[in-house]
A and B are shown apart, each in its own frame.
Chain A
C-alpha cells in the first residue's frame, strides 16, 4: 500500500475545530422568528400537526411566538413533547411537519417549524422557569430502564401524575442518543444535559447512572420492587458486515466513535486521511460529515442501493455532499484489505437490482484507500440484556413486541423507543412511545 497509515488528531487549528463543531443551523433571533412566524397561516386541522408523531399544536405555538407569548408557545410544545428542544434540533422536519406544511404545497418553502420550535423551547429553558407541576403523590413507584428520549418522556409524564420514578441508565449520563448518538454540530453546547436537567426539574424522578439491565439490575427484581416497569433501552448491538478483514485495526462501529466524539474535545480525536463509511442511514451521514469536520481529506460513503432508498433523508444527503463527502451509490464492500493488521483499503463491488428485484453484485470491483472504516449498517436489540426473561418478553422482528398502549407481553411491563420501533427510530417517536406508555401505566395504576 506504500504510504504509512495516516491517522492523526489535531489536523485543524483550534478555530477550525470550533467552527466545525459549532451549531450547523444557528438559532433564529427574535426578529427572524417574528418574520418566520408571520408566514404561518394558522391552518385549521393543520397537516403539520398530523405529521408530528407527538401531535404538537404547531399553529398554536407559532401564534404564541408571533404575539411574544414565547413562554406559552414553549409550554404548548413541551406539553406534547417534553423533548421539544432536542426534536427541534434533530427531527428530520422535511419528512415530518415541514414536509406537510401547506406552504410546501404552495411554494415549496415551508414555515421553518423546527427553528421556531427551537426559538420557543430555548427561551423557556434559558429562563430557568419550570412550567410543570406534579399531582398529589400516589405512592406508586415506577422503574424506567434507559434514560433516552423514551424513558425520560415516560418518567416525566409519570412524575407529573404524582408517581415516583427511578430511571436506570447504563451510561454515565442521561439523554440517550441526544447525548451519545447525534452528530455534535446538531446538539452542541451541552444541550442534551440541559434538557435532561430540565426534565428532572419537575421532581419525583431519580436518575441512577452506570446501572445496566442484565448486569446490575434484573427485570424480575424490578417487577417485584416497582408497581410498573418501562423499558426504553434502545438498540445496544451493532450490526456486523461479516466480511474478511472486519477485525483489522482502524475498522470502527460508527455509533461507538460518535459516542466518543460527543464526550471528547474534537481536537483530541484521531481521524484518518482517507475514510470509508459503509451504510446509508443518518448515522452514516453523521459519521461521514464529522470525519470531514475533524479534518479527513477523503470521505466516501458506500451504499449498496440508490439515493432514494437511503435511510438518510434527502436533506441529510445534501448536508453530506455540501460537506465534501462523496456518496457512492450501488456499491457494497466485499473485503477490507489490511497491512500490518491495520486496514488500508476497502474493496467494493458495484450492485444492481436483479430481475426479481433482489440486490445483486455485478462482479465489477474497485478499491478505495482507507485509513479508517466506519460501519454504519444499523443496530439491533440485545435480548440477553433483558435478563433471560426473553421467553416471557415476546420479541417480534427483532424488537420487543408491544400493543398500541406500548404494553409488552409481560404483565406490568411497558416498552418504547428504538427497542420497539419498526420504523425510522426517531427521537420524536420515542418521546411519543414514552408518553403513550406513561398514560397507560397511569391508567393501570389508578384503576
Chain B
C-alpha cells in the first residue's frame, strides 16, 4: 500500500485529495461530512469582511455534452455569505476535531493592508494550517476590486502577499486566476512577494449558454445573466497547462503547487502530481456526485502507485515536468503511422471521413465482396492522431512508431528550418 501522505508548504495531509474553496466547504456540516468520507484536506470557502455578501438565486450554469451532465460548470456565487465569526468558530472546532486533516482558509478582503492584517489575526486563532489568498474569482467580487481584479495585476499580488507574510506565521497560498494571457507573471509575482505556495486554476470567465427563448445568457437571473466562473472536467487541459508552466519555470522553481481544475478521478490527480502539483483540489466532481468519490480516488491512486512501484507521492511528483518542452524542442524525425486493427474495427467509417474531409486523405474506404474495409495509406499518413481520436473503439486504431534510425532532431537543428543557425561542425 503506497503512502499517500502529502506535505505542501509545511501543510500536512493524509492524502492529496482536498476540497477546493467553494460551496462544499462553506460550513462545518459539509466539511465534517467530507472528512468522514475520507478527504485529506479542505480549503474553507472564502471569508471576507462583515457584513457578509448577499447572493442571488440561480447561481450555477452547466454544459452538458451528449448525455453527460456537467462536463463544464459555472457559478456566479460570491464568497461566504455567513458571518465571519460563525465561520471562524466552526473552523476552530473542526480543526480541533480533525487535527490530521489539512485546513486552509481562503480569504478575500479589500486591497488594504489593515484589512488583511485584521483578518489574518482572527484566522490564526482558529488553528488553521494556512491561508489561501483568493485572487481568482472572476465574477462579482472582481467588480468590487477584489478576486481576479487583484490576480490580474502582478504588482498587487506581490504587494498583498508581502503584507500577509508580514502579518502571519501561517503558510500563505496564493490562488491564481487563469483569466490572464500568461500565468507566469502572477505566479512570479506571488513568489517575489514571498508566497509559500500557489493554487491554480481558479475559474474561467464564462457564459454557459444563451437561453434562446428568453434571449439571456445562462445562468439566468430574472431575465439577465452575468458572466460566471467556469470549471469542471472541460477545464482540466487548461489547468494542466498552467500548472506545468509554473512547474517548469526557472523563476518559480520549487514553488509548491496545489492543483485545481477539473479533477474528478485518481487519474486526474496523478496527472497533476506528475505535472508538479503537491495536492489536488476538487470541487465540481464533489458537487456532481457527492463526497464519496474520494473513496475510489484514494484506492485508485494507491493501487496505481503500487503497480508502478511508487512508494510516496514525492516518488513521481513532477516526473512529467522535464518532458514538458517547447514545440521547438520536439523531435522532427519522430514518425508514426496509424494502424487499424481490422478485427476490432466496427466499420463506422469515422476514421475515413475525418481524414478524407479534414486531414490528409490517408484512409481508404474499400469494399471487399460488399464488406466495408478501411485501410491506412502509409504514403499519405502524416501521423496526426486524428483517426485514433475519432475512432470509437478503444485500441482499434493505434499510432505505431516507424523505425527511421534517424537521431533526435529539433526544429532548431532541422535543415528545413530557414532560420537555423548552422552548427560549427557543418
Please, what's the 1-or-0 string for A55-66, where 1 marks a CB less than 8 Å from any CB in chain B?
000000000001
Question: Is B347 a contact partner of A102 (Cβ separation < 8 A)?
Answer: yes
Q: Is residue B393 contacting chain A, with contact meaning CB distance below 8 A? A: yes
For residue B342, give the distance in angstroms from its CB to the closest CB of chain A. 12
Q: How many angstroms from the CA of A105 to the CA of B371 in the assembled complex?
A: 13
What's the A-B contact tally at a CB cutoff of 8 Å?
Answer: 36
Interface centre among B348, B353, B365, B372 (most CB of A within 10 A): B348
User: Closest CB of chain A to B124's CB: distance in Å?
Assistant: 51
Closest to B65 in A: A38
Nearest chain A CB to B354 CB, angstrom units: 8
Interface stretch of the complex, out of A42-50, A201-209, A396-404: A42-50
Mask, B349-387, CB within 8 Å of A = 1, is 110110000000000010000001000000000000000
Chain B residues whose CB sits within 8 angstroms of the CB of A34 once the complex forms: 67
Inter-chain contact B352/A44, CB cutoff 8 Å? yes
Let me know if B349 and A45 touch, CB within 8 A. Answer: yes
CB distance from B96 to the nearest CB of A (A): 47
- How many residues belonging to A are interface residues under a CB distance threshold of 8 Å? 15
Check if A105 sits within 8 Å of B352, measured CB to CB.
no
Q: Are the C-beta atoms of B346 and A35 separated by less than 8 Å? A: no
Residue contact A102 to B346, C-beta cutoff 8 Å: yes
Whether A43 lies near B348 (C-beta < 8 A) is yes
CB-CB under 8 A for A106 and B346, given A44-B365, A47-B372: yes
Contact with B along A14-49 (1 / 0, CB 8 A): 000000000000000000001100100111111100
Chain A residues with CB under 8 Å of B393's CB are 106
A residues near B365, Cβ cutoff 8 Å: 44-45
Task: Kindly identify which residue among B66, B67, B346, B349 contacts A44, using a CB–CB cutoff of 8 Å.
Answer: B349
* Chain B residue at minimum C-beta to C-beta distance from A107: B346
State the CA gap A42–B347 with chains docked (Å): 12
Considering the chains assembled together, what is the distance between the CA atoms of A41 and B365 in angstroms? 17
Complex Cα–Cα for A105 and B348 (A): 10
Given contacts A34-B67, A35-B67, A38-B67, are A44 and B350 in contact (CB under 8 A)? yes
Interface residues in B113-155 (C-beta closer than 8 Å to A): none
In the complex, what distance in Å separates the CA atom of A415 from the CA atom of B15?
Answer: 76
- Assuming the contacts A35-B67, A38-B66, A38-B67, asked whether A45 and B372 have C-beta atoms less than 8 A apart, the reply is yes
Partner of A47, one of B66, B347, B392: B347
Taken together as a complex, chains A and B put the C-alpha atoms of A257 and B66 apart, in Å, by 46
A419 to B349, CA, bound (A): 37
- Cα separation A41 to B352 with both chains bound (whole Å): 13
Q: What's the Cα separation between A41 and B349 when bound, in Å? A: 10
Tell me, rounded to whole Å, the shortest Cβ–Cβ distance linking B102 to chain A: 39
Residue ID in chain B nearest A66 by CB atoms: B66
A41 touches B67 (CB 8 A): no
Given the known A-B contacts A34-B67, A106-B393, are A41 and B372 also in contact in the complex, defined by CB atoms under 8 Å?
Answer: no
Name B349's contact: one of A35, A46, A105 (CB within 8 Å): A46
Q: Which of A35, A38, A66, A102 contacts B348 (CB 8 A)?
A: A102
List the B residue with the shortest CB-CB distance to A31: B67
By a CB distance below 8 angstroms, the chain B residues around A41 are: 348, 350, 392
Count B interface residues, CB 8 Å. 13
Q: Which residues of A contact B67 (CB under 8 A)?
A: 34-35, 38
A36 shortest CB reach to chain B, Å: 9
Contact B392 A44 (CB under 8 A): no
Chain B CB within 10 A, most for which of A38, A43, A66 = A43
A224 to chain B, nearest CB (A): 45
Q: How far is it, in angstroms, between the C-alpha of A396 and the C-alpha of B146 when the chains are bound? A: 87
State the Cβ distance, B366 to closest chain A Cβ, in Å. 11
Q: How far is the CA of A45 from the CA of B349 in the complex (A)?
A: 7
Instruction: State whether A105 and B346 are in contact (beta carbons under 8 Å apart), knowing that A44-B353, A47-B372 are contacts in the complex.
Output: yes
| Cβ contacts under 8 Å, A44 to chain B | 348-350, 352-353, 365
Q: Which of B66, B347, B350 contacts A105 (CB 8 A)?
A: B347
A220–B214 Cα distance when bound, in Å, is 63
In the complex, residue of chain A having the shortest beta-carbon distance to the beta carbon of B356: A44
Give the distance to chain B from A275, nearest Cβ to Cβ, in Å: 43
Min Cβ gap B349→A in Å is: 3
- Cβ < 8 Å to B, chain A residues 80-111: 102-103, 105-106
Q: Across the interface, which residues of B come within 8 angstroms of A45, CB to CB?
A: 349, 352, 365, 372
| Interchain CA distance A133-B392 in the complex, whole Å | 40
Q: Which residues of B contact A35 (CB under 8 A)?
A: 67
A105 to B392, CA, bound (A): 12
> Measured between alpha carbons, how far is A44 from B350 in the docked complex, in Å?
6
Chain A residues contacting B350 (CB-CB under 8 Å) are 41-44
How near does chain A come to B344, taking the closest CB pair, in angstroms?
9
Interface members, chain B 190-235 (any A CB < 8 Å): none
Smallest beta-carbon distance A30→chain B, Å:
12
CB of B178 to closest CB in A, whole Å: 30
* In the bound complex, CA of A41 to CA of B170 (Å): 53
Complex CA distance for A34 and B66, rounded to whole angstroms: 8
Interface residue ranges of B318-352 to A (CB < 8 Å): 346-350, 352
Which of B66, B346, B350, B365 has the most C-beta atoms of chain A within 10 angstroms of its own C-beta? B346
Q: How far is the CB of B243 from chain A (nearest CB, A)?
A: 31
Q: Which residues of B contact A43 (CB under 8 A)?
A: 347-350
Q: How far is the CA of A102 from the CA of B349 in the complex (A)?
A: 10
A43 to chain B, nearest CB (A): 4
Q: What is the bound-complex CA distance between A43 and B374, given in angstroms?
A: 13
In the assembly, what is the distance between CA of A382 and CA of B350, in Å? Answer: 49
The CA-CA distance from A66 to B67 in the complex, in Å, is 9
Contacts of A46 in B (CB 8 A): 348-349
- Residue of chain B at shortest CB distance from A45: B349
Give the docked Cα–Cα distance between A42 and B393 (Å).
14
Cα distance A422–B393 in the bound complex, in angstroms: 38
| B392 lies within 8 A of A106 (CB) | yes
Q: Restricting to A147-188, which residues have a CB under 8 Å from any CB of B? A: none
Residues of B within 8 A of A66 (CB): 66
Assembled-state Cα–Cα distance A428/B352 (Å)? 30
**B374 CB → nearest A CB, Å:** 9
In the bound complex, what is the Cα–Cα distance between A43 and B67 (angstroms)?
18
B349: A residues at CB distance < 8 A: 43-46
Q: What is the bound-complex CA distance between A103 and B347, given in angstroms?
A: 10
Q: With the chains together, A165 CA to B347 CA distance in Å? A: 43
- A42 contact set on B, CB distance < 8 A: 350
- Report A63 CB to chain B, min CB distance, Å: 11
A38 to B64, CA, bound (A): 12
Most chain A CB within 10 A, of B347, B365, B393, is at B347
In angstroms, Cα B351 to Cα A41, docked, is: 11
CA distance A35 to B68 in the complex (A): 9
- Per the bound structure, the CA–CA distance linking A137 and B66 in Å amounts to 45
Report chain B residues within 8 Å CB of A38.
Answer: 66-67
- Kindly list chain B residues whose C-beta atoms are within 8 Å of the C-beta of A102: 346-348
CA gap between A66 and B68 in the complex, in Å = 13
In this complex, what residue of B is CB-closest to A104? Answer: B346
Q: What's the Cα separation between A379 and B82 when bound, in Å?
A: 80
> What are the residues of chain A within 8 A of B348 when measuring CB–CB?
41, 43-44, 46, 102
- 26 pairs, A vs B, C-beta closer than 8 Å: A34-B67, A35-B67, A38-B66, A38-B67, A41-B348, A41-B392, A42-B350, A43-B348, A43-B349, A43-B350, A44-B348, A44-B350, A44-B365, A45-B349, A45-B365, A45-B372, A46-B348, A47-B372, A102-B346, A102-B347, A102-B348, A103-B346, A105-B346, A106-B346, A106-B392, A106-B393
A44-B348, A47-B372 are known; give 9 further A-B pairs, CB within 8 A.
A42-B350, A43-B348, A45-B349, A45-B352, A45-B372, A46-B349, A47-B347, A103-B346, A106-B346
- Enumerate the 10 nearest inter-chain pairs by beta-carbon distance, A residue then B residue, closest first: A44-B349, A44-B353, A38-B67, A102-B346, A38-B66, A43-B348, A105-B346, A102-B348, A106-B346, A41-B348
